[in-house]
Amino acid sequence: MSSLELRKVTVSFKGLTVLSELDLGFGERSMNVLIGPNGAGKTTVLNALSGAVRPAGGEVWLDADDVTGESPTRFARRGVVRKFQVPTVFPGLTVADNLRVASSAPRPRATFTSGERDTRQRELSETLGLADRYEDLAADLSHGQRQWLEMGMAFLGDPRFLLLDEPAAGLGPGETQHTADLIKLMAERCCVIAVEHDMDFVRALGGEVTVLHQGALLARGTFKQIEKNTDVRDVYLGRGH
Amino acid sequence: MEVVVSIALNAAFLVSVVALVALGLGVIYGLLGVINMAHGEFVALGAYAAFVVTSSGAPYWLALIVAPAVGMVAGMALQAGLISRLVQRPLDAILVTLGLSLVFQQVFQAVFGPAGLTVPNPAPGTLTILGATFPVFRVVVIVISAIVIVATILFLAKSEFGIVVRAILQNRDAASVNGVNSARYSLLAFGLGAAVAAIAGALIAPSTNVVPYMGATYLAPAFVAVILGGAGRPLGVLLGAAFMGGLEVALTSYIGPTTARALVLILAIIAIRLRPGGLLSEKKDRFA
Amino acid sequence: MIAKLRAGGAGIVLVGLLAFSPFVLDLYGLSVITYILLYGVAAISLQLLWGRGGQLSFGHAAFFGIGAYIYAIFTVKLQVPTPLALLLAITLSALLALIIGYFLFFGGVRAAYFSVITLAIALIANQLAISWTPVTGGNAGLIGVPGLSINVFGLELDFTSPVGGFSLALIVLAVALLVTWLIHFRRLGLIFTAIREDETRAAFMGYRTPAYLTALLVISVSLAALAGAAFSAVSNYAAPDMLGAVLSVEMLTWVAVGGRNFVAGALVGVVVLRLLNIQISTILPTSWPLIVGGFFVLVVLLVPAGLVGTFVRLAKRLRPRRLVPVEES
């Protein structure tokens, strides 16, 4: 069982402490959702877990390795793949080429031959719902399609940990369901850690929900348990989905 | 002892000039994001202005007013006519200024001829400072440069113009939402940068041959000074200029000007490698 | 797949057609073509770095000139056999590129800063060439540089005659086209494009982007140095103007005019501007730098896609549309 942990991690920006000696670990469950009000530090947690931000204090551990301070590139090579809130695909490349670039990226697990890669890519594009746009430029895709493409690209990186930052952001109702299905599919192969605001989406994903508040861990449990948790409700008073 | 003082004074002289050029460059780059490859030609413009002033019989000191005026007009014309059209394409803006640099050099050559022109030294003679003899005029240059630099920095720091300029530097969209007319400030900033460069040209003119491509000599160290200092940080730029100029002078007396310049550039590249954010930044700022 | 074959075919046809030049052109025409081909390879090397990698080199002529000088110095001053000198020109330049890449790319230097520093490098190379007279021949450069002749394992190839020089240039062009074709149509080309599009994103995927950029720089510089060394071998001299800012700007003009996103653009740019140069030099001999500068400014301002780029864009618009079902949003 792989584990990705923050141990007493402190992160501050220009004098403002976002995370303060936070202990937070992932890996036991394959589906994890991170929620919390604005400013709780959710994105910062993802940043710290993927090397995008170097903690001012504390350590980041991947299994038995101390990976604190390594670059995001190294994190990716170790199998911690991050998908950003704003879909950042390569707009000038086709869907097919985007997937190719992703599948050629260095990764820790077994590699496929190039023939297997192409088949895998095609199948993946069907699963993603992008089979008919295979040779189109990524720039021509809709917002939702770009999200799926980027998830596909993250998935092709064969991650051990897939970090998703607000995967449902900007999606229409039909697209949201497809996205949830895709994420659940990916959770079968790796450990997913998703940051989300949309409560319906969080409920659809299932798995373990972690609530963050002001840079500290507030509660952890299934969605039902969290729903009933009075601390969580206080903190969320007024927040819908 | 005199050798050290002599080197220090020469260094101060070169640093002053490079700092002036770098400051103007830094303002333009910091504000407009445009690397003005033709900046050296503003320096040459100032030098040629000084030539025109003195050869028409007027006293040299008039050039210190004419040169920046001419520079300002040229800078604003450049910004209005060309650079403003390339706002969306910063790399192309650099390319255009590179081409313009060549064009300007050719125009200077066509108008003034390729041979070096001289501007008479308005303050001949030498001073003895701490045992070292040093031309009076160079002292004048150092003093005037210092005044212009301090004035420019104060202007940027305290004046309304300067504050708005720095706001635009921080966040252009926020500034425009607040009603700031970026175009007008860009115009003035470019003009200011060019004017300062022209003053440098006028100041250096009596000490050197005025030739069409003289700007290039100061452009490279000025650029590196800006990179070393970090864009938009006038103090950093000064530090960078001090580094470039001071080191070059110190080395020149041992290994000759060309090798000195090459060595300084290599050292600067190493410095950039170690401190990508500029000399005054913290160690290795991360990606995100 | 089709694009790959089409491009490869075009390259082969081009080289094939050019091979007839010695039979159809007089000596003067042949020498013009020879120089155009070598400048063309220099332009291709710049286009590789700029169009494919997104890094604009302001001083690329430095690498061309360094290749020329290394070849010249080793053959004239050190009596090294010409093929070895050619190899040295390439490998030493590649080493230089490796060092530059290490300091700049691995140091996080990109885009504008990179461009300025490459210009500084060109200026310094120029200054060195002019002042280090005992080695470089100073302002006059080195003359009497021998042409390339290979005499190894019983294989005798003499490139010293005008036809030989042309053949050398043609071979160099073929090499350059092959290299760019290989890069463009393999995964490597895709990765370079991805890095150019969004380097941060590529890095977040696990690609060591500075390493890729340095590799591209090494390839680009090696091609430029090869062209420069061949130039020196064919023209039998090496001079400071092979290194300086004027040639660098000219190279930028070739690629900008021709079309910075296409290898063909680099070639088209060289042909157009070189021919223009020849025509104009007869009428207004000293105005060429002014015209180059002015032309460059106009092209960048008004026709940024270049000739080939604009042509491709128009061709796309004129092609009949495919019948695609209307997409729901």
Among partner residues C115, C120, C296, which is closest to B94 by beta-carbon distance? C115
Mutation site for B-interface testing, chosen from C209, C214, C297, C302 by largest number of B Cβ within 10 Å: C297
Residue C122 contacts residue B102 (beta carbons within 8 Å):
no
**Whole-number average pLDDT of chain C:** 86
Strand segments (E) across chain A? 4-13, 16-26, 31-35, 57-62, 65-66, 80-83, 161-165, 191-195, 208-213, 216-221
pLDDT for C329 equals: 36
What is the least distance, in Å, from the CA of C157 to any CA of chain A?
A: 41
> Is the per-residue pLDDT at B257 higher than 60?
yes
What average pLDDT score do residues C88-93 get? 95
Tell whether the model's pLDDT for residue C250 goes beyond 70.
yes
Mean pLDDT of all residues in C97-118: 83
Contact B27, B192 (CB under 8 A): yes
Return the minimum-mean-pLDDT range out of B197-206, C93-102, C320-329. C320-329
Q: Which residue has the higher pLDDT, A143 or C225?
A: C225
Structure tokens at B187: 């115009």
Residues 6+ apart with CB under 8 A from C43: C251, C254, C255, C258, C266, C267, C269, C270
The rounded mean pLDDT for chain A is 83
Q: Which residue has the higher pLDDT, A110 or B269?
A: B269
Residue-wise pLDDT tens digits, C2-11: 777 888 888 8
Q: How much is the average pLDDT of C112-136?
A: 82
B70 or B268: which carries more pLDDT confidence? B70
Would you place residue C62 in the very low, low, confident or very high pLDDT band (cuts 50, 70, 90)? Answer: very high
Interface test with C, best of B95, B213, B266 (most C CBs within 10 A): B95
pLDDT of B286 above 50:
no
Tell me which residue in C109, C132, C287 faces B276 most closely, judged by beta carbons. Answer: C109
Q: Which residue has the higher pLDDT, C193 or B85?
A: C193
Q: C55-87 burial string, b = 16+ CB within 10 Å, else e?
A: bbbbbbbbbbbbbbbbbbbbbbeeebbbeebbb
pLDDT, tens only, C1-47 = 677 788 888 888 888 888 888 888 888 888 889 999 999 999 999 99
The interface pTM score, or ipTM, of the predicted complex is 0.76
C284 Cβ under 8 Å from any chain B Cβ: no
Please report the pLDDT score of residue C290 as a whole number. Answer: 85
| Cβ-contact A51, A67 below 8 angstroms | yes
- Do the Cβ atoms of A76 and C206 come closer than 8 Å? yes
Structure confidence at residue B26 (pLDDT): 83
Q: Per the structure block, which two tokens stand in for A239?
A: 């927040």
Q: Is the pLDDT of residue B287 over 50?
A: no
pLDDT at position C72 over 60:
yes
Average pLDDT of span C175-190: 88
pLDDT digits (tens, 9 = 90+) for C192-241: 988 888 888 888 788 889 999 999 999 999 999 999 999 999 999 899 88
Give the sign of the dihedral formed by CA B9, CA B11, CA B12, CA B16: positive
Among candidates C103, C112, C300 on the partner chain, residue whose Cβ is nearest the Cβ of B273: C103
Over 50: is that where the pLDDT of B288 sits? no
pLDDT, tens digit (0-9, with 9 covering 90-100), for B21-42 = 998 888 888 777 778 889 999 9
Tokens of C230: 């061949």
For residue A111, what pLDDT is reported? Answer: 58
Global confidence as pTM:
0.81
Amino acid C1: pLDDT: 67
The string of DSSP letters for B35-77 reads: --TTHHHHHHHHHHHHHHHHHTT--HHHHHHHHHHHHHHHHHH
Q: What is the pLDDT of residue B284?
A: 42
Residue range B133-160: mean pLDDT, rounded:
87
Q: Is the pLDDT of residue C83 over 70?
A: yes
pLDDT of residue C280: 84
Q: Which of residues 29-88 of A touch B (CB under 8 A)?
A: 47, 52-54, 71-72
Which pLDDT belongs to residue B74? 93
Local confidence band at B108 (pLDDT 50, 70, 90 cut-offs): very high
* Per-residue pLDDT, B232: 62
For A142, the closest chain C residue by CA position comes to C329
Average of per-residue pLDDT across A168-192: 85
DSSP of C84-118: HHHHHHHHHHHHHHHHHHHHHTTTT--HHHHHHHH
Residues in chain A whose Cβ is within 8 Å of chain C: 50, 52, 71-73, 76-77, 81-82, 88-93, 97, 100-102, 104-107, 142, 153, 157
Average pLDDT over residues A18-44: 85
Q: What percent of chain A has pLDDT over 90?
A: 4
Per-residue model confidence (pLDDT) at position C49: 93
Nearest to B272 among C109, C132, C200 (CB): C109
Cross-chain residue pair A73–C190, CB shorter than 8 Å: no
| Residue B68, pLDDT above cutoff 90 | yes
Residue B223 sits at the chain C interface (C-beta within 8 Å): yes
